[in-house]
Structure 1
């Protein structure tokens, strides 16, 4: 299906009561109509022409339809959805080929009968040379959307009609045909042309996607919220960086013709290269790029690639200097003859097609993550809801996108909604959409809700525990009935979505407190998985390296041992998101030096690390065991066995830790002057013994990561 079909399906239906709104009379319009009529007279037509009731023979019509089969395939479903918006309004929808021959029509039965009387029917040619001024023929001549209303038609027999038509172009700018809505001129509505143009763009975008499904596509707009809508521009980029094609919105925004745009490459247009775009969108949870024209005008850009994951290898390309691209906008290496090649075999797409990675990308060596991935892989495509638990910043959306990418819905939208970030007064409208005038402040043409946007794909409800209680009931009904009713509407819209929920809250406690619906909880928790906090993982070095590779693909800096030691000793309250922010800043500060050192880290992070150090020092000193007079103190085990990441100590060994009485000499040594490191090791050993050797329990009691426990114990053994 074409992208954004849901936008049309949920568009406000404003024709229930036809509004008699005549086309406004303007001097310029009158002059334009006169020019059109003069053109028809020059063709030898008269205004009293009788309707031509000699359509193509059935075999010829079949041949015309065969020649335009691809156009019909893309247009037919759009026409059906458009018809749903104008049903019972004495109207019809017409598809004509590039010669003006009508290929297909749908409409109200009574109006179709009236249209037959003027030969507005499949097989009949409605080009200007045959039918004079009319929306179909005049659109073909002008190559632009056209409204012809009532008496503006050249032939008097057609004066009862009002027609709104838009041309359909392929990505290279060639006209394919015309989409038209024709109705009784008494029921003219000013919004008809908007729907026709939107529908034509749907057909064009689908054509572009089919033509270039295995090519990089950049979706852009000057306003980031319009990316993913029918207002976005789309340009197709070849492996050598050349522009291959574009949709009409792209041409409008760039103010170029299709031929002029195809003279450009990514470097000459936006000052970047295809490999640089791929590298940007390989990063976890990538944000839209900001690219500028040579004039300095900025655009927000997302990248999409809908081909098989391993089907596209960027061809090596040589970028040469382009005079109209300012030096500060050129990519590193541009113009110096360097070759770049980006393999996208390990890269996938997010729900909306943004380049992204699947579950295999998340498997970075931590056994907890490996187990989680194995569980999730078993339920993909099984229609089992997924509920992801975990602290803020652990990568819940990253996991949700990976699940979507590995599912059968990968080519359909992935729509993420953060229930905690949307004001409570707006979240209902955001989720379910609304009709024109549904509430004060609503946009004039209404809005499509996030649930409808996700139709066919995946809806990710982040921080589901923050959803208001009354809204939970509506969401439950949507999940049960698979229908959405926008605010202010009586029409239900069917939806087919996979739902993934996520939260950092304890939903069972919320159920007991009456703040979360139990029935919704059981609807969402087909499989519940918990993402471990970064401090509880043993793959921090791998995660850090991947983040740096994404941020600095051409010159990835190393992390010095001192900095990595700091990282492993830190609790990371912000988890992976915090780590990414720290590394992003450090990479910029270390540009050109090849290694991130401590002085490259931001001051606030270093202050945070230092405060943690100071907080732990008194606690460690206070916990040094002191033997009472005449008493014994437990002797810490000198050599704690090495355990794999995430494992607990065997019971026999755990019992042995600190199990036997220690001689008095050990107690005396315990109170002798020692380093802070020695005190920390003793405290860790004691806490571990009290936890029966369970590393996870000990790390929580101490407030440090398991990685830190392993590292401290190894350090103690070396001593």
Structure 2
């Protein structure tokens, strides 16, 4: 159909719906059209381009949505693995409709950005008209906005399936949207997608509740007992005083229906006594822990409806762990410096989790040493492979990282070569100076991390890899992203947690560091310092940090007599004038 004819028909249909004439559109779509016309005064004849926020504004939204992004990311990655072959992209927006996280196919990166299916895009109903995210935020319900359901003709090629994400206090905090640039004509083609998105959001909300209410009782609920332990439909948390402290949106809906509440506020059930919702004594909840049959897990709602509950007891808060409980390698990265102690304790909490880590700090602070301590502290053993991204020649970096198939290019080994990434399979891949990796290779690395497989140069089949990634940079990667020198999507993939290593001049355990480096350089023999020499070492600013100290001590070892380093054995720049 001619575009001008299609445009005229689209505008006429919106106008007819506003006049109350009969339409085949879903009621929620028509209601959104009416809001666009009457509340936001949008013009159906206007073709608006997607709005992408500037980086500084996007950063503010991402900082405010940091908890949402963290808890949702793993669910998004799992969902994307299931739908990416069908051309879908995933958007995570905050409660204002701004896309704070995104997963899509980099091959159509430009088309996605033009269509607004990109990080930083703003999809509020007031700005974009009827769309998946905007209508979902306004109605608070999951929705499919398919092609010409969109108010703005510029968005009619898209099919958007969106579901709201609610906080455990009942407030709407974001939207998960799954979209297609091009899709089948019929809207029912997205029915299964809608259920998949709602299922993913349900798991995100459950994870958020369980993570934020660890000190409360958690009741995972389902109408039947068969899938209660693996896929509950909703969940609530109950505080020690017997009041409901949090719940998923599914529990809001369940309780509202049971109590005949048509509209509920964010705090409809938070703070209510447990017995007002359930016909069950809160003090008997511990009895459910010993339930062996479905009948023992059954609870009655206030309207007599039966629901099954899987109970998790509160995690009792213990005193802060003693330093001795740290894994030995992590306990050995400092000698009492408070900043390093905090770093070691934070690292110990995540060391066995498949979370990517970024180590930041000045040149020479010992990032690889900390990375090796993290690797050695893991229960899961495997190889440690370190790659200095700044030292590899650009012409060789691709074959070094990804390997190559036999006889894949002139001069290639007839047997092929296993790349460094594949060599790290089952262990830790340490990417030192990741900020110096060329942009084209950043794209390939992103695919390795997303798909968990590596494609050697010249190969036709990918090789699966299971790696824990630790990255390091003496420059802040976020600044490189802002300057356009580092891929934003790769940054968010690597940025599971950032550990900042302090400069040597700022550490309070310099005497301990001196002893450790002296033992390392002297290879176990005794290397001692005269009092003036030690005072000079402690007073030095150490701009090159630990790497500079190693170089200084190697010189001192060569110049000293009988292993005793005097002030005269120090480099001139260390000797007080």
Q: TM class, shorter-chain normalised?
A: 0.3 to 0.5
TM-score (ref. length: structure 1) = 0.38
Q: Tell me which structure has the larger Cα radius of gyration.
A: 1
TM-score (ref. length: structure 2) = 0.47
